[in-house]
Each structure stands twice: as structure tokens, then as C-alpha cells.
């Protein structure tokens, strides 16, 4: 069973000519087949956690450990982390001019699987996955995310998730900017992968609406750079009713984060 273990993780970032600590001792274990929701107000460190796990050079790990199946993730390069089974769906997917979606997906699959997929079966696999996500198959010949709407970019992220089948999927505010129809389609894609029981999911959000479609096994409240409370799906209902302000007060912060429907 694949397991991502985060222990006492501390992370800093350079901002305004000063070093600022963002993560202040994060402890979390995500096992294969589990879905964990990380919830908290803007600025609490949720996205920093996502990008630190993926190896973004902007963030410096100053303490703690991260292991995947016992292997030291922090010693891996970004591409090694992806090959090891970590997947990040970004909040703001970037455009890659000059690289078609089809070439990008096949190159990614080759790196993860260790060999190139057979072209005939691969084309069919991609086409079927795109149809499940209500994506026009002509998108396969377009440059990665270039000219895509926000919803199309997010569907492309989930297309990658479906095709690559990582050990642990980190979904950073996948619901951001989605209308109701796009949110439902994207959530259905995430649920299809979850139902295989092969992927551990770390769902980062500050809204509860996506949790109406993707039911978490665990909910963790993030505030002041650490997890301050954990529970089951009922904790999301508490946040819906009470918001994040009580947690901000515990940290001495002035953030008045609320939970939006």
C-alpha cells in the first residue's frame, strides 16, 4: 500500500528581501485509497504544502521529512518525484507553447510507465478519457493549455490524472474558477480515479462545494502553517457553518476566512 508520510515539515520562502516561514511543522499521512481534504483560509499555507511536495524551487524545506513508500521525497528532483508516483494538479495550470497535448501526455506516460505506450491503444485510451471529461478530442492537437478556458485547463489536469494513475494525487484548489457543470465533470473524473482504490488523494480547498461531489475520508483544518484540527467529513460541515475565524484567532492572526457555498 503506497503511503505518503509528512513529518514536522517546515518551509520558508523569500519575500520582500526577507525569509518568511510558511509551514511550521506539518504532520500528515496519506495512504493509497484514502482521500484527505486540506481546508483553510487564503494565506494559511495550503498551496505552499502542495508545491513543496512537488519540489517547486521557490520554497525551501528547512526541517522535517517527506517519504513515499519509505523513499526520501525531498532528495528527489521534480521529475523523479513524478516518476515515483506524486502528481500535482495546479491551481493555475501553465501554458506550454509549441507542445501539443497529445505529445505532452504520451511523453508523461512514457516517463511514468517506463516505456512508451503502444500508439494504437494509447490513442484510444486518450480519446475515451477525453470523452468522459466532455473534452473535444481536437484538443489533443492543440498546444498545452494555450487558449484554454479556466475550466478546460482544469479538465486537462484531470485528464492527466486519469491517464497517469499516480500513487498520490495532490489537487491544489481544483475547484477554483469552475462553474457548476465544470465542477461536476471534474469531480466525476477525480472520483473515477478514487474508485480504483489505487490512488491516495490530497484535496486542497477553502470551499466546501467540491466536497459535495468528492466525499473525503478525512478533513484537516490548516491555519498558520500547520494542521490545527482533523476529523471526518462532518468537520467540513462545521466549517460551512462556523468558518475559519476561530482558528485564525488561535494563531493570533487577523484573517477572517469564511467558507463559501
Per the domain annotation, does 36 fall within a domain?
yes
Domain count, the chain: 1
C-alpha cell at 19: 525569509
Residues spanned by the domain of 92: 3-250
The answer to whether 24 and 216 have CB atoms below 8 angstroms apart is no
CATH code assigned at 175: 3.40.50.300
10-residue block means of pLDDT along the chain (261 residues)? 94 90 96 94 90 95 96 96 94 91 94 90 93 93 92 93 94 90 94 93 91 95 93 91 76 42 31
Per the domain annotation, does 258 fall within a domain?
no
Per the domain annotation, does 259 fall within a domain?
no
Predicted local confidence at residue 256, as pLDDT = 39
Non-local (6+) Cβ contacts of 117 within 8 A are: 106, 109, 110, 125
Per the domain annotation, does 59 fall within a domain?
yes
Predicted local confidence at residue 247, as pLDDT = 78
Per the domain annotation, does 141 fall within a domain?
yes
Per the domain annotation, does 257 fall within a domain?
no
Per the domain annotation, does 73 fall within a domain?
yes
Work out the number of other CB atoms within 10 angstroms of the CB of residue 93. 17
Predicted local confidence at residue 254, as pLDDT = 41
Per the domain annotation, does 240 fall within a domain?
yes
Predicted local confidence at residue 255, as pLDDT = 41
Q: Ramachandran region of residue 20, left (φ > 0), alpha (ψ -120 to 50) or beta? A: beta
Amino acid at each position: 500500500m503506497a503511503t505518503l508520510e509528512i513529518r514536522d515539515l517546515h518551509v520558508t520562502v523569500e519575500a520582500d528581501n526577507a525569509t518568511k516561514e510558511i509551514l511550521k511543522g506539518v504532520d500528515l499521512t496519506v495512504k493509497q485509497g484514502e482521500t484527505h481534504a486540506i481546508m483553510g483560509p487564503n494565506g494559511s499555507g495550503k498551496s505552499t504544502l502542495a508545491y513543496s511536495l512537488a519540489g517547486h524551487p521557490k520554497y525551501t524545506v528547512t526541517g522535517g521529512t517527506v517519504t513515499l513508500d519509505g523513499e526520501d521525497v525531498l532528495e528527489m528532483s521534480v521529475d523523479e518525484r513524478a516518476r515515483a508516483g506524486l502528481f500535482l494538479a495546479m491551481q493555475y495550470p501553465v501554458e506550454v507553447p509549441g507542445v501539443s497535448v497529445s505529445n505532452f501526455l504520451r511523453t508523461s506516460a512514457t516517463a511514468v510507465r517506463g516505456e512508451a505506450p503502444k500508439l494504437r491503444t494509447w490513442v484510444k485510451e486518450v480519446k475515451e478519457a477525453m470523452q468522459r471529461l466532455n473534452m473535444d478530442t481536437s484538443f489533443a492537437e492543440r498546444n498545452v493549455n494555450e487558449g484554454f478556458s479556466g475550466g478546460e485547463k482544469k479538465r486537462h489536469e484531470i485528464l492527466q490524472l486519469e491517464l497517469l494513475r499516480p500513487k498520490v494525487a495532490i489537487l491544489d484548489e481544483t475547484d477554483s474558477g469552475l462553474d457548476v457543470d465544470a465542477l461536476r465533470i471534474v469531480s466525476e473524473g477525480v472520483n473515477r480515479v478514487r474508485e480504483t482504490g489505487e490512488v491516495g488523494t490530497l484535496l486542497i480547498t477553502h470551499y466546501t462545494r467540491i466536497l459535495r461531489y468528492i466525499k473525503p475520508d478525512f478533513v484537516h483544518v490548516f491555519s498558520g502553517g500547520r494542521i490545527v484540527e482533523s476529523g471526518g467529513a462532518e468537520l467540513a460541515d462545521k466549517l460551512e457553518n462556523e468558518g475559519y475565524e476561530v482558528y485564525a484567532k488561535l494563531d493570533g492572526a487577523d484573517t477572517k476566512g469564511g467558507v463559501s457555498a
